[in-house]
Structure 1
Amino acid sequence: MADPFSTVQTELPRDRWGRPLITPPDGGDPVAYTRCTTFVGCLEDTYHLGQWQLRMAVLGMSRRKDLILAASAIDDPTDQYQKRKLNDIAKAAKDAAAGDAAANTGTAIHTLTERIDKGEGLGDYVPEEYLPDLKAYADITKGLAYAEIEGFCVNDALRVGGTYDRILIFTAEFLDNFERVNGFRLRWPGRNALGVLTPQGGEEIQPGEAAIGDVKTGHVDLGQGKIAMQEGVYANSVSYDHTLGTRSPLPGNPSKEWGVVVHLPAGTGSARLLWFDIAAGFEAASTLAKGVQGWRKRKDLTHVFASTSVTVQAGPTLVEQIKAATSYTALQGIYAMNSAKWTPGLTALATERRAEIEG
């Protein structure tokens, strides 16, 4: 008899769309939660990203004559199979213009920063041009500790699940070093009487206090809203253990007001730490994003008030038409009307029928 305890579920189960399957708080069968990036992404302005992708596709086509030839062979862009082929051509063109190079580089650097934070080595070989990036990351984060790295959490009220990059802890070493470099103690951001963000306007940060952290290797200016919402959802979530289906408070009790982004633009050898207003981000996620998601699920916005149906009797098939033809001219007419879907088998059948007619 097989050991019922021999199989251990090590990976978070997901449905066919990649959504995490989460055991409800009160038990029962797992249900699909929306991924956090998807949930907050409904409010993201993708115009500039779309324009960039178009530019890369155009540039890539100019470098790949074979893709131009492949595209010229498409005669019906509404056909599902030819649409798929066009999608493949567009992706290949974007890749040809190194459209995915920045994403691949960013992903690699992101992985290496995780190894730095875990105290692991960088491996046998890291391209020399990226060593300044990693050195800048190590310098800017020196002294920070981590309550958790790449932890999965859920917000049951929103039915959202996702993986945060870090829960970072401000240590005495980090805070003392900040004061030594900048000449003042690090404080949480605050707001003035008009509600305007004022860096260093809040309470002095004490050793042991924590914040949700994120590492970004690309542009952050155009994605501020999405980052703030995503970190806000994480900060207002609980840790989830999929092997037991249990929940627990986030380690370190990170701030629900402010999150941190380590901005490490790939290839620049520079890094900076940014505060993000995640309280505002969570408010947007729990109201605006939730409203948009709900609106998209509405299925009660249209009603039929009149209908009719007509049954059309199917005409004779091509085989039947060929067999019923009474002259070679009739056979030629059948071919002329159906040349686009003519097959060798129909040619053979028409030749046989012609012989019968003329014999």
Structure 2
Amino acid sequence: MTLLGAARERSLLDEAQHLNPETREGKSALDALAERAVTRAGANVKRERGTHLHSLSEYVDRGEELPHGTASADLADMAAYKMATVGFDVMAMEQFVVVDELKVGGTFDRVLRYEGPGPDGRPVSGLYVGDLKTGSVQYGGLKMATQLAVYSRGELYDHSVFPVDGRSPRALAAWKKREVPADLAATAYSPMPAVSQEWGIIIHLPAGEARCTLYWADLRVGWETARLALDIRRARGTKGSLVPFAGKY
């Protein structure tokens, strides 16, 4: 996508030629050019479209009317979404969670209450983490299961308790070094609802197709993958793997 964008806007290559990738400023400028190239290639159109459908789905789940002037294609998508999710009660939307064990965080789409046939056809009842996907799910099953597995094992975190301007590297660095008493730090955390840690739900709503399909995601496999990713991240941080020879040869 980056090459396609550069081909469509040749000036990006001209700008890149004058940057030094060995400096922090040069790397930052190159990253910005790469993002511009990706946008020029049209990659962000789907992302923005997905964000738009996520916003509309929140209207549906809150039981509110869609904004005046909503496009007919969006209305059809939301009708399909409503039909597919009619068996769910939405208990929570768009809440940030952290998993200290993995040192990661993220925002889940939904916590859903569901009662009905489970993955094996047998009756189930309980709370499940749900995630809305508007792109292809053909090759992303393991990634999605991993994402939901992490959410299911997280704690709710209120970032407004310790605000920081993430756009400022200096402010972020100072925030990371800030020491906070344990009892004060604890006020930012609250328990996650008792969601299933075995299964999650993927809601697949491909943009503009007026169809919505539900999938069970195996969070047991997803959690194993998340732990494996942690081990790999730790291994990559290992230093001193190579030791130079002593003496001359």
TM-score normalised to structure 2 length:
0.76
Which structure 2 segments of 5+ residues have no match? 162-186
Q: Which residue of 2 aligns with 1:64?
A: 9
Matched, 1:92 2:36: yes
**Which of residues 251, 254, 259 is equivalent to 2:195?**
254
CA contact (8 A) 2:199 2:220 kept: yes
How do residues 150-189 of structure 1 correspond to structure 2 at under 5 angstroms? 150-170=94-114, 186-189=116-119
Asked if residue 263 in structure 1 is aligned to residue 233 in structure 2, the reply is no
What displacement does 1:88 show?
Answer: 4.0
**How many aligned residue pairs are there?**
220
Q: 2:123 aligns with which of 193, 204, 226?
A: 204
Alpha-carbon contact 1:260-1:275 (below 8 Å) kept: yes
CA RMSD in angstroms comes to 2.7
Answering whether residue 241 of structure 2 is matched by residue 297 of structure 1, we say no
Q: Is 1:219 aligned to residue 136 of structure 2? A: yes
Q: Which has the higher contact order (CA 8 A, sep 6+)?
A: 2
Cα 1:77–1:136, aligned 2, differ >3 Å: closer, same or farther?
same
Q: Is the 8 A contact 2:96 2:107 kept in 1?
A: yes
Shift of 1:145: 0.8
3-state SS of paired residue (2:111): strand
CA contact (8 A) 2:19 2:29 kept: no
1:74–1:82 CA contact under 8 A, matched in 2: no
> How many angstroms does 1:74 deviate by?
1.9
Query: Aligned partners of 1:79, 1:283: CA distance in 2, in Å?
Result: 37
Aligned mate of 1:130, from 74, 81, 85: 74
Q: Percent identity?
A: 34
Aligned to 2:93: 149
Read off the aligned partner of 2:98 and give its amino acid letter.
V
Structure 1 or 2: more strand by fraction: 2
How far does residue 303 in structure 1 lie from its aligned partner after superposition? 4.6
Letter of the structure 2 residue corresponding to residue 136 of structure 1: A
Q: Which has the larger radius of gyration?
A: 1
Matches within 5 A, 1:281-292: 281-286=222-227, 288-292=228-232
Q: How does 1:9-28 map to 2 (within 5 A)?
A: none
Determine the C-alpha separation between the residues in 2 that align with 1:95 and 1:289: 29
CA distance in 2, matches of 1:114, 1:219: 21
**How far has the Cα of 1:247 moved from its partner?**
3.1
Aligned CA distance change for structure 1 residues 61 and 300 (closer, same or farther; 3 Å): closer
**What is the CA–CA distance in structure 2 between the aligned matches of 1:86 and 1:217, rounded to whole Å?**
29
